[in-house]
A and B are shown apart, each in its own frame.
Chain A
């Protein structure tokens, strides 16, 4: 009689198809079970099940694998391109931002880069980085204060300009041609009166001083043989 370990080894041989000439009762029983006349499945049924299995396999498995592969290739290229673009643009942006001032849109990028530089810098270099940053802040301060100054003067100029324009409307090149002509006409109309007025004031002055009033253009028009005239 075989023990359980010996029987196990013999059973392995039996399963592999070896013919055993052992007269052990357990082994001969096992042989009867292995050779049990079990009915085989009908070949048509077997093929039908196989067909269903393989069609299911073809339906589900190869397509996703192909799709994943093509997606991977595409994405690899795309990711590389996008990464390169981001890298280049970020480099360019950071470079552009390095000279920006607080009024610039790129200024936050500059500050972020500075913070990163300060964070990355090793302990011994931190102080020099801080010094640089302080200089940078100073520069920015000067720039901003100078800009404020120019702004103030600019605002003053802008307040004065309209009055000047109003006075010398005729000189302003921005004044349209028609309005220029109008102004010229008005000036022409005003000019004789203005001259008369000035002559009147001169006569009054000379009267006060006891002198004869100077002959003006208005006086010249008086007839010489007038009874009153000397």
Chain B
């Protein structure tokens, strides 16, 4: 993960139209944005599409971005988060509901990986919306507590409590699934 100062310089260059800096931003954030969206929407094609849209939106609004508080990471994830919410709104499905899971489409994919993934994501079903968002932004997106709080417009203390409870719930659910 790039440090804030380093990232700030890249952002400044990108705001001046430096394509190389934009490429660096893409390389640094794309995979995490993609995986965060993938877990939320559970479709590779949709995740690719929304991740691409996230970066295009970022490009549109980058000139207006000012480094305040949690900074660029929370700003970028907020774009992705809002795009996912809009997508769920169009589909008329609650964004924390778990539907059919088709991440590993091909037969070559590991059966074990599929199983683990399905178990963890199954355990997520017992989380409420805020708990799920906090866990995904914090552990998949790699945001700090402060950045997560800023993205979801919550207090840092609230985020700490939510993540603590959420991990306890997931742990309990996983234990139930393993024992079953």
Contacts and interface: CB of A to CB of B under 8 A. Distances in A.
Nearest to B113: A37
In the A-B complex, the 6 residue pairs with the closest CB atoms: A61-B17, A37-B113, A4-B164, A26-B167, A4-B160, A62-B17
A189 B146 CA distance: 126
Nearest to A25: B171
Contact of B59 (A26, A29, A60, A62): A60
Contacts of B100: none
B97 to A, nearest CB: 19
Interface in A3-19: 3-5, 7-8, 11-12, 15-16
B19 interface: yes
B55 interface: yes
Interface of B: 1, 16-17, 19, 22-23, 26, 30-31, 34-35, 38-39, 44, 47-48, 51-52, 55-56, 59, 103-104, 109-110, 113, 116-117, 120, 135, 138-140, 142, 144-145, 160-161, 163-164, 167-168, 170-171, 174
Nearest to A12: B144
26 contacts: A5-B160, A11-B138, A11-B139, A12-B144, A12-B145, A15-B142, A28-B171, A32-B120, A32-B174, A33-B139, A34-B139, A36-B116, A37-B116, A38-B35, A39-B104, A39-B109, A49-B48, A49-B52, A50-B26, A50-B30, A54-B26, A56-B59, A57-B19, A57-B22, A61-B17, A61-B19
B142 A38 contact: no
A95 interface: no
A33 B163 contact: no
A54 B35 contact: no
A142 B135 CA distance: 94
B5 to A, nearest CB: 16
Contacts of A46: 30
Tell me the interface secondary structure of chain B in the complex.
Answer: helix
B179 to A, nearest CB: 15
Interface in A41-57: 41, 45-46, 49-50, 52-54, 56-57
B171 A36 contact: no
Contacts of B23: 50, 54
Contacts of A94: none
A37 B120 CA distance: 10
Given A4-B164, A7-B164, A54-B19, A33 B135 contact: yes
Interface string A60-71: 111001000000
A4 B140 CA distance: 19
B163 A53 contact: no
A11 B163 contact: yes
A161 interface: no
Nearest to A26: B167
A40 interface: yes
Contact of A37 (B30, B44, B110): B110
A109 interface: no
A33 to B, nearest CB: 5
A222 interface: no
Given A37-B113, A50-B23, 5 more contacts: A11-B138, A29-B171, A38-B35, A39-B44, A57-B59
A15 B163 CA distance: 14
B117 A53 contact: no
Contacts of B168: 25-26
B52 A33 contact: no
A150 B30 CA distance: 92
Contacts of B113: 37
A39 to B, nearest CB: 5
